[in-house]
Structure 1
């Protein structure tokens, strides 16, 4: 399928330029990005000089597969990463370079287990008479996966905004 003018504009950017491709599902974002990567490699860039950032791990995985097929050359690492994976790579590289302990990445299930352990401890304390939660938010509600997911999102937002326990 031929590229439309907007897609061609992305593909034809100078090799040292970066760009942002946005659009609705089915609008040709992936087609434009794959064509851009192909053009960059054809212009002489090495695969390790190319990085495509995506908002989610799932999007990065899908794009990595499309890029691998499209470029047809071995690469030293994935050409597409999620923003979070790239950020972790930067933090880890800094720690290694500075001789610090490497950070440990917690997955969603890891975080969920930690939150569940904390909530289980609260339920045990509550059974002994110590109450931290409103009465309408009973232990049976706090034990649900949905509650843990919302609590994790709330805590992440607090961290992002710099809200401390104090």
Structure 2
């Protein structure tokens, strides 16, 4: 989802303590409901990100070394960082998490994806209805004829 924030380029040199930040999110583990992006959740004081000073908690990372990560799994994003070498170039939106959470608070239905998820609710309801109908039929047949199975 577009948050309307400018995109900033940040390049970090991996130091002895590494890049020094944690991420959450991904298409398999959304950090913000309805949002598949990768977000910075902690910047550690011993890492390159803290020393550089530009990367902050709540920033959304859009690219790692020119690879778009807006629709990747959490593990894919982690592996891109692990395999990025000593120099990591990122495209980042500062404060994106805060803005997304504010929008979600104003409009709680925003996190609902619509589409296929809505259809799955009807599909499940249909299965429940079918199961209940079958159970009622078997109970009726048992009490009416003394057995569920034909003789």
Output the TM-score relative to the length of structure 1: 0.23
Higher-strand-fraction structure: 2
Return the structure number with greater relative CO, CA threshold 8 A, min gap 6: 2
Output the TM-score relative to the length of structure 2: 0.25
Q: Which structure has the larger Rg over C-alpha atoms?
A: 2
